Amino acid sequence: MTQNKYVLNWIDEMAAMTCPDKIVWIDGTNEQAEALRAEACSTGEMIKLNEELLPNCYLHRTAVNDVARVEGRTFICTSKKEDAGNINNWMAPEECYAKLSKLYKGSMKGRTMYVIPYSMSIVGSPFAKYGIELTDSIYVVLNMLIMTRVGTNVLEALGESGDFIKGLHARADIDEENRYICHFPEDNTIWSVNSGYGGNVLLGKKCFALRIASYLGRKEGWMAEHMLILGVEYPDGETKYICAAFPSACGKTNLAMLIPPELYRKNGYKVWCVGDDIAWLRVGEDGRLWAVNPENGFFGVTPGTN
């Protein structure tokens, strides 16, 4: 898949620690995704829903002790405590690596390690940032295929560079007492262990696109923010964009998916969603503020809720 020595050496190192039975590279093709869906259905990990009522839909249940992002088990690991931010949990990098290495040791025995090369933002774009997530979960693979841009073109865009975010996820025992989601901004590294739940294990989302990207943005002169992006076109053709940050659970995603009332629609107003959750912002050469949604898919909201 790649000759990049930084990528290959890191995968070898992580595989030596986690001891998977085999390693499978994810290529972004529908054929491979279909095979993984079939495998997950054959083991009972996923259930295919009624094809007529809900075409191409599957049910996946997380463990009962593993149904939310766990802020109390989420750490930013920087050499200086003040660099972790004033509302984040901090742990010294050496202490965290030592603690988690024990939990990862042999955690993929009898399992497959999947290698997911992915891009936040469009591959090849000047805004794009690349990552590779190693995981032992088909659920993670299938969701990363929805949420990010996955494929061999990511490896081609990365070339021989070592400039990528290294993500390691292992379900291990889904032990909530030993559940950790840890970020090492100075090492471009994310480690997640003992969870199988979305926000804790889809490492391109909160972990990379917000936490690690905030650090990268501070270093490089841009911002990663928890914001929706909404496009509005007026009847005269003028287009404006709204970028908005709300606290959790107060309607950010619902606003992002706004459908204008019938009266406005009839008068020629158009509204569309650019992003529902994360915005990367920078001031352009024209002095204006520009925003891009680094994600590719939606984490999900039930239509018609308010």
Domain that holds residue 241: 224-292
Residue appearing with tokens 């390690």: 113
Please indicate, yes or no, whether residues 243 and 267 belong to a single structural domain of this protein: yes
Last-in-domain residue among 193, 220, 247: 220
Which residue among 57, 96, 182, 250 is the active-site one? 250
Q: Indicate whether 273 belongs to any domain.
A: yes
Run means of pLDDT, 10 residues per run, the chain, 306 residues: 96 98 98 98 97 94 91 96 93 98 98 98 95 98 97 97 98 97 98 96 97 96 95 97 87 86 96 94 95 87 57
**pLDDT attached to residue 305:** 54
Overall size of the chain counted in residues: 306
Q: Total structural domains in the chain?
A: 2
Question: What's the rounded Cα separation, in Å, for the pair 28 and 9?
Answer: 22
- 250 a catalytic residue: yes
**pTM for this model (two decimals):** 0.94
**pLDDT attached to residue 249:** 77
Please indicate, yes or no, whether residues 151 and 17 belong to a single structural domain of this protein: yes
Which amino acid appears at position 111 of this protein? Answer: R
Q: Is 115 helix (H, G, I), strand (E, B) or coil?
A: strand
Please indicate, yes or no, whether residues 164 and 250 belong to a single structural domain of this protein: no
Which amino acid appears at position 13 of this protein? Answer: E
Last-in-domain residue among 173, 194, 220: 220
Question: What's the rounded Cα separation, in Å, for the pair 278 and 243?
Answer: 10
Question: What's the rounded Cα separation, in Å, for the pair 252 and 93?
Answer: 33
Question: Residue 39 belongs to a domain with what CATH number?
Answer: 3.40.449.10
CB–CB of 161/127 below 8 Å?
A: no
Q: Is 272 helix (H, G, I), strand (E, B) or coil?
A: strand
